[in-house]
Structure 1
Amino acid sequence: MRFKDVFSIIGPAMVGPSSSHTAGAARIGRLARQLFGAMPARADVIFYGSFAATYIGHGTYSAIVGGLLDMETDDIRLPDSLRIAAEAGILVEVQTGKGLFPHPNTAELRLYREHEEEPSFTIVGTSIGGGNIEIVSVDGFKVKLTGQYPTLVIWHTDSPGMIAEVTRLLQEEGINIGYMSVDRKNRSGQAMMAIETDQAISAELLEKLNGYPGIQAIRLVK
């Protein structure tokens, strides 16, 4: 990724100490919360690489939990997020992972709804510098999301015309696609579209998309 200006390197307004290890982690957690669509009852957080080595000292753990609580990078409550989560009855468990990972600053989150024994949502995100992030996996689908633009994530069946219909509806609303990724589990099985747009997505457009046959779920990242 090329940084557009010096602020992309310094990072956003934030509670420190690190734009990569703190602000980036908070953004990963917050994007996961938006994609999950609700406050999780439980979250398993797995850190890899540099995150795994320094997640306590750099505030990475509290930052990513703060993001799950929908806190922004400059929220003064970030350092107290673990206590706030506990008081809200949210169980958070952290561990360090080994093996291959896509970036030195990588976090995997497995989120659970109430009374679930298995996670119903998983996400893998990387903090690539200056508070910037890339989400590289959602529910096992390969994606590339930055969270910097309005983003549609659509779970759907892998069927002919699905991509064309979604892009047609966007075009009719005058919405330009800045980036799009598509992945599927198997032929005619479950698939995912992740679309970053230059314009905001209206509630009316979401309603149209939700009514299209074959679309199973939609999340809008603002």
Structure 2
Amino acid sequence: MARTADYRSAFDVIGPIMVGPSSSHTAGAVRIGSAARTVLGTEPEKIHISYYESFAETHLGHGTDLAIIAGLLDFDPEDPRVKTSIEIAKEKGIDIEFVEETGTSIGDHPNTALVKLDAGDKHVEVLGNSIGGGTIKLRSIHINGACVVMNHTLPLIVLYGDSPIAEFNSCIARMFDLGVKVNEEIKSNYNDHHLIAIQLYKPIKLETYEALKKEYPNIEFANII
């Protein structure tokens, strides 16, 4: 069950305008897909989605498949194309696989999806919970073997690349200089590639985000909101 602290406004509790029967199984699923797409940074070529517990039992009837693919295609929850997202993805030649996992959720929540994506030489895995009202929590992010484990609602900034850790630390310090309100940093390293997830108290301003990307061109950024 979601805690009050997991919701940042009354709109998170009431839920969004959306296409579909359930904010958890539709709007939340769209946002899990959207988060994974944002981390990948482009349209996926291959999609593998594992469902756990409630998602595994009800994804067909509640339109979760359509919703999560819609997010991966960069559609909003209220976009009418949500209803035909799988057809659209297949027309684009995207390979899609859904798996109903048995046993206890690896995300410690009944509405859990593990999204695995491939595009070119980049492999991404995002584990997410849909906790109600269209709100999601991310539990882990993998990029090409590097992994950060968390238990956070959005917004999140994700940094990735093979630049020296000093450059990443400089980028984070610059965020503070620019007034970005950081709640927590989670860091990982794999094969000389750094992966850092930064939970924010509120979404970063677009002009600030673009300025950071320009100032640190050797770091890959993902702004998950």
TM-score by length of 1: 0.84
Q: Which of residues 38, 47, 55 is equivalent to 1:34?
A: 38
Q: Give the unaligned 5+ runs of structure 2.
A: none
Q: CA 1:43/1:207 → structure 2, altered by over 3 Å: closer, same or farther?
A: same
Question: Per the alignment, in what secondary structure is the counterpart of residue 154 of structure 1?
Answer: strand
Distance 1:153 1:21 in 2: 25
CA contact (8 A) 1:210 1:218 kept: no
Task: State the partner residue of 2:129.
Answer: 126
Give the fraction of aligned pairs with identical amino acids, expressed as a percent.
Answer: 33
| Total equivalences in the alignment | 211
- Matched AA of 1:168: A
Q: CA 1:6/1:182 → structure 2, altered by over 3 Å: closer, same or farther?
A: closer
Question: Per the alignment, in what secondary structure is the counterpart of residue 17 of structure 1?
Answer: coil
Q: Which of residues 189, 206, 212 is equivalent to 1:205?
A: 212
Q: CA 1:5/1:89 → structure 2, altered by over 3 Å: closer, same or farther?
A: same
Distance 1:81 1:9 in 2: 26
Q: Deviations over 1:126-166 (max 9, x none)?
A: 1011110011111032134433x3x3201256977566423
Task: State the partner residue of 1:105.
Answer: 111
Alpha-carbon deviation of 1:48? 0.6
Q: CA 1:4/1:205 → structure 2, altered by over 3 Å: closer, same or farther?
A: closer
Task: State the partner residue of 1:218.
Answer: 221
Task: State the partner residue of 2:178.
Answer: 173
Superposed, 1:69-88 pairs within 5 Å as 69-88=73-92
- Please, what is the CA RMSD of the aligned residues? 2.5
Q: Which moved more, 1:154-163 or 1:33-42?
A: 154-163
TM-score by length of 2: 0.82
Distance 1:74 1:160 in 2: 40
Distance 1:181 1:64 in 2: 27
Superposed, 1:49-198 pairs within 5 Å as 49-100=53-104, 101-102=106-107, 103-114=109-120, 120-139=123-142, 140-147=147-154, 149=155, 151-156=156-161, 161=166, 164-177=169-182, 179-185=183-189, 190-197=193-200, 198=202
Q: Give the unaligned 5+ runs of structure 1.
A: none
Distance 2:60 2:76 in 1: 19
CA contact (8 A) 1:143 1:183 kept: no
CA contact (8 A) 1:46 1:94 kept: yes
Q: CA 1:57/1:189 → structure 2, altered by over 3 Å: closer, same or farther?
A: same
**Would you tell me which structure has more helix in proportion to its own residues?**
2
